[in-house]
Amino acid sequence: MATSRQLSEDDSCRRAAFYRQRWTPPAISPREILRKSIDQGLLSEEDDPGQAAADHAMELATSTTIDTAETDLLGLASHISGLADFLTWVLRAEAAPWEHPPRRGLPEGQVWESGVFLGDSGLRGVALVDRLDAMTEMSLRNSWGVQGECAVYDDPMSLIVVEIGSLRAGKWSNPFTVGYRHPQARTLRFRKRDGESFGANWERVAREDDEATREEWLDAMTEDGVLAEAIHVLAIEVPERRHAIISLAEGKLRRMALEELPEPQLSRCFDKLRLCPFRGCCPQGLEPSEVLGFYSIARLA
């Protein structure tokens, strides 16, 4: 099955993409848990999609190894679960579950499986980023997850970009996770009107531990103007080079299906921005195997 993620990984490291078609890594990153859990919540038919996302995050975090150096794994899992809950609840304003577009056949016979969703007038995507600056926006607009999806379905996309900051010490620090309480009035705030920082007497609170309901937390974010700064919607048009993009995708997919083990890309193995899930074996000249904890996709099928 052809996916935008498969093509993106091939752009980054052909060997990693080769392995990914055959092996599932034994560990999953915190960001991947968050992404998968939000997707689960958006698609959920449960009465509370936020809770469905939270439950899925806890299930992933406790049933698989988390790819992290943190020692407080339960605290990390609870944090991911709380953030997945709140972001899903914010994003899915309507009651109806979101849906993926149907699979689409490509001219050469490959079948495309979408990683985005159907919107009111085209496609709808969700991207989690540290910070949306000009370079990040350019990267998103030109990614396979945007250009490829729009080209294959011949539809525009509303790309919802959520700024969550960097993961440090097992926590994402952003208005969705952290606020401040007034020492006497106990008012929930995110920044002062005068732009000054909060004094030492203000209490820094984590949303998953705070007394505020989702509605109260969201209202406070809106009142302080931080919600509009944390969630952005980018309008993406169908690319003018639509047929060229589809042709490029088909060529890459055809080569990926036929090629033998590609050369390693050593500079990519420990890239901080995208740690390779195969870094535990590939740089040492080892192949993924069940002995090393990897799961054979052929066996799982």
Average pLDDT over the chain reads 93
pLDDT of residue 14: 94
Answer whether residue 301 shows pLDDT above 80: no
- Which pTM value belongs to this model? 0.93
Residue 215 pLDDT grade (very low, low, confident, very high; cuts 50, 70, 90): very high
For 38-42, what is the mean pLDDT?
Answer: 98
Give the pLDDT confidence of 87-97 residue by residue, as tens digits: 999 999 888 99
Are 97 and 148 contained in the same domain? Answer: yes
Choose between 274 and 77: higher pLDDT.
77
Are 123 and 213 contained in the same domain? Answer: no
Are 197 and 268 contained in the same domain? Answer: no
Are 111 and 184 contained in the same domain? Answer: no
Are 73 and 139 contained in the same domain? Answer: yes
Where in the sequence is the domain holding 181, given as residue range(s)? 176-225
Are 111 and 147 contained in the same domain? Answer: yes
Are 203 and 275 contained in the same domain? Answer: no
Residue 233 pLDDT grade (very low, low, confident, very high; cuts 50, 70, 90): very high
Are 128 and 80 contained in the same domain? Answer: yes
Answer whether residue 192 shows pLDDT above 80: no
For 26-47, what is the mean pLDDT?
Answer: 96
Q: State which of 184, 210, 225 marks the end of a domain.
A: 225
Are 150 and 199 contained in the same domain? Answer: no
Give the pLDDT confidence of 260-269 residue by residue, as tens digits: 999 988 888 8
Are 215 and 242 contained in the same domain? Answer: no
Are 235 and 265 contained in the same domain? Answer: yes
Residue 214 pLDDT grade (very low, low, confident, very high; cuts 50, 70, 90): very high
Q: State which of 225, 259, 292 marks the end of a domain.
A: 225
Give me the phi and psi of 7, to 5 degrees please: -70, -40
The total number of structural domains in the chain stands at 2
The count of C-alpha atoms lying within 13 angstroms of the C-alpha of 152, restricted to the half-sphere facing its C-beta, is 28
Are 193 and 287 contained in the same domain? Answer: no
Q: State which of 225, 242, 263 marks the end of a domain.
A: 225
